[in-house]
Amino acid sequence: MASGSFYVQNLGCRANQADGAALELSLRARGLVPTGSRDAADLVVLNTCTVTATADQDARQAISRVHRDNPAARILVTGCYAQRAPQDLATLPGVTWVVGNSHKLQIPDLVRIEPPSLPFHGQIWVGDLSAQTQFLSAPVEDSARDRTRPILKIQDGCNNRCSFCIIPSVRGRSRSAPADDVAAQIGALVPRYREVVLSGINLGRWGRDLPGRPRLAWLLRRLLAETGLERLRLSSIEPLDWTDELLDLLASQPRIARHVHAPLQSGSDRILRRMYRRYRTRHYAARIRKAHRLLPQAAFGADVMVGFPGETDADFEETRQFLADLPFTYLHVFTYSARPTTVAAELPGQVPAPVKRERSGILRELAAEKGRRFADSLIGRTLSVVTLQEQHPEGRVALSDNYVKVVIGGDYLPANRLVQVRATGHCGDLLVATPV
């Protein structure tokens, strides 16, 4: 396909969004033209996730919809599901290529190959990721789907071996973007954006594989010193990687968003051991409580899994109480999903689906209540917000540095501005604010 239009659809995490942005840029550099609709594209790239069975189902449904609504399109499936189970995807109607994470960098060349006259279906390009050293990274800078908070992936892969997780086998070992590259990319974004989000599969491990083994806090200080970026936000970081040095930096640097997200998974030490997690609840609580002392108005979030094999009512109650006792402002609640080839998939004590749904509902209600209380505590306070593309009948929607959405009334404000506002009340799930 020597020329034509394309559309990239990303499923899953922020790292996938960053990978998708890199693919968009590389396809455009080869002469293909992006289109705002997958229904009108000659090539549709589906960048998949495989962290749960639901993620797999979402990918298959997306492939089916593209083939149904745009049967002439060539479909390229890539990402983590493509790396894990390429044969399953190659047989689906409409799929022309299945390209694993191992071959993502080669996608621009693959799609420019003119297919033979015979049926060209389900060609697989997947290899071993264990020795992968190449790093695919570009910020979401020109995507029509995000023009206010670009995501820059600076780390990929994971060396942990949690018993439930498939990600190390589909992303490879931990590897870091060189500091010079990160600084250059941030510098290129500064003239256009107020906030940039740093992301990774295991972001807190950035630098451990680079010469001199630099740490994330060192990189952040360099970015603040060498660029004029107004706000830098960190995505999820493992609990023990929220070091004193990193927390002190967040507390002392107003240009870093007051936002601490630390995956928990379970509030039961017994379950954490079965998960092969490297910390216990006392370690986790100590990190969050220190962060809260330093940053009392920060956002605090966690990933929590319900229904892990062997999770009893008592284990779940430990988790619920642990979450209730800590100053979280939001929670991402996930239901355990067995992943092929993982240790947890073979463990006894698989929890029935109705029990998992009930437990998930309880934690989601707890999260909603914590979110409401946090939002209430901000009324009357001044917040630093970045305006988003999103509009609301009452005005422009914005996101505060402590991760609360607000709607700004009064005079019209364009997107992609960093402004000070005062929270005055509620409008549904949003805070209402006025410019200061």
Q: What percent of the chain has pLDDT over 90?
A: 76
pLDDT in tens, 371-391: 999 999 999 999 999 999 988
Tens digits of per-residue pLDDT, 351-375? Answer: 999 999 999 999 999 999 999 999 9
pTM of the entire structure? 0.90
Helices (H), 98-150: 107-110
Average pLDDT over residues 152-176: 92
Count helices and strands in the chain by DSSP H and E runs: 13, 18
Question: Could you count the other beta carbons within 10 Å of the beta carbon of residue 363?
Answer: 22
Q: Give 302-317 pLDDT, tens digit per residue.
A: 999 999 999 999 999 9
pLDDT of 320 over the 50 cut:
yes
Q: Where are the alpha helices (DSSP H) in 111-192?
A: 167-171, 179-189
User: Which whole number is the average pLDDT over 290-300?
Assistant: 98
Residue 89: which H helix or E strand, with range? Answer: helix 86-90
pLDDT for res 2: 40
What are 49-66's pLDDT values in tens digits?
Answer: 998 888 999 999 999 999
Euclidean distance between CA atoms 262 and 323, whole angstroms? 12
Report the C-alpha gap between 173 and 185 in whole angstroms: 23
Distance in angstroms (rounded) separating the CA atoms of residues 217 and 136 = 22
pLDDT greater at residue 129 or residue 346 = 346
